[in-house]
Amino acid sequence: MSTTTTTERTDLPGADELRQRAERAAQACGLDLSAHAGDAAGRSPLTGSVVSSLAWSSAADVEAAVGRAHAAFPAFRDTPAPVRGNLVKRLGELLTQHKADLGELVSIEAGKITSEALGEVQEMIDICDYAVGLSRQLFGRTMTSERPGHRLMETWHPLGVVGVISAFNFPVAVWSWNTAVALVCGDPVVWKPSEQTPLCALAANALLQRALAESDLSPDLAHVVLGAGEVGQALVDDPRVALLSATGSTRMGREVGPRVAARFGRVLLELGGNNAAIVGPSADLDLTTRGIVFAAAGTAGQRCTTMRRVIAHRDVVDDVVERVGAAYRKLPVGNPLVEGTLVGPLVSKAAFEGFEAAIEQAKEAGGEVIAGGARVDVGGADAYYVEPTVIRMPQQSQVVCTETFAPILYVLDYADLDEAIALNNGVPQGLSSSIFTQDQAEAERFVAASGSDCGIVNVNIGTSGAEIGGAFGGEKETGGGRESGSDAWRAYMRRATNTINYSGELPLAQGVTFDV
């Protein structure tokens, strides 16, 4: 194990203290831990120590949960949308009240620094605010009919049970994106969280259960099922799950998508990202450096929107490399619960092994490590802290085109904007992208149809840190799904086209005659 010159925060709590803090935070959210006690050990990436012992669900448990949610659907479907919005409003109030408690659980189970963990809970609060307003704006259209005395319109109706599969890196926010919107749309939710963050899920669901009780609504409108393997498979395959929203790897999406399609269910996929920032010759390099460092090193590189590539113009690439490398060498790595830490741990040994393997592959492809590249001696043998790493690459080789869920940033150079856009688009994933430039023509070109092929296209801001008001998602191997804002709510409802004849006659469309 190597040490580094990176500023280290080593004052980590002991195993007993860490578990006690997790249990206190969960109980403060209203979670009865005794009701979920079992033999499945949940470990914190901070030290690798056990912070929970819970009972995993079975396929039969999933079937029962979906059945109860399905039975609760008809009454909820007929509940006015603004009343459903009041439920979400109460959830947002409880999240505000317990922001610190849930944020601490996110730090302990996912390894996020405190400000990012609290920011994740704030995102939950924000989507609740958004969904409350949405509950009075589930609009359909009125269209002009070609037939006299007819009105043509569309209406939107609740869809049914929504299954949610979420990943460790946003252990509560992604659930809230789906759940707040699904609830105002009239849909119950069954959630399978990451097996690495079960306490976060149970605590969030406890708050929702309290909101349901206070709103005189059925507790069966929300369920959590814990585990892996057969648990997720049972949720994917149940024909009563009208929409399956799954966040995870592209590999997972390739398995989930066809299974849901085979039963003619709907699927919403949020999969991998390999996000790039183009740095133009006119870029403000102070702003650019700040944008790159947060997007690339934040959450220890474990966001789907993490910046993994910088494509810098040849006139500025040396300066960019020098600035970013200098910033990386000063990043405080260590205990995410301590104020001032900016980089916490990788989630697991497998993540660390992926980090090491990618660096070796980059070197073999001619890459030069500019900063980082080593493990940081924090937290003991079962904790995996690493230096955020900058590697200058001669070309966009296979390792650069592969998403590694760790803080590795590859830097490439380009001669003209066409080449830069081709590099940006030249990976299988299509989630997030950005350009740093003071040239308006470059900015407009990047966001045009001939520019970035990603679902998120930013100018003078990094690739991560999306707001809830916009639809979130991407193209190609990112899966094509959209969550959160804009018109993403339509995925959670079914559309009906209505023709209303008030003419007293029966003219047919397209001039067809059929007299009897």
Which residues participate in catalysis according to the annotation? 270, 304
Q: Counting beta carbons within 10 angstroms of the beta carbon of residue 404, is it exposed (0 to 12), middle (13 to 18) or buried (19 or more)?
A: buried
Query: Which element (helix H / strand E) includes 3?
Result: none
DSSP state of 516: -
Q: What are phi and psi of 50, to 5 degrees?
A: -75, 130
Sign of CA dihedral 52, 306, 181, 68: negative
User: What is the helix (H) or strand (E) element at residue 509, kind and residue range?
Assistant: none
Q: Which helix (H) or strand (E) holds 180?
A: helix 173-185
Long-range contacts for 79-84 (Cβ within 8 Å, ≥24 apart)? 79/186, 79/217, 81/135, 81/136, 81/138, 81/184, 81/185, 81/186, 82/135, 82/136, 84/135, 84/183, 84/184, 84/185, 84/186
With CA atoms as reference, report the closest residue to 180 among 266, 248, 268, 84. 84
Tokens of 175: 């659930």
């999933």: which residue's tokens? 62
Q: What are 339's two structure tokens?
A: 């104020």
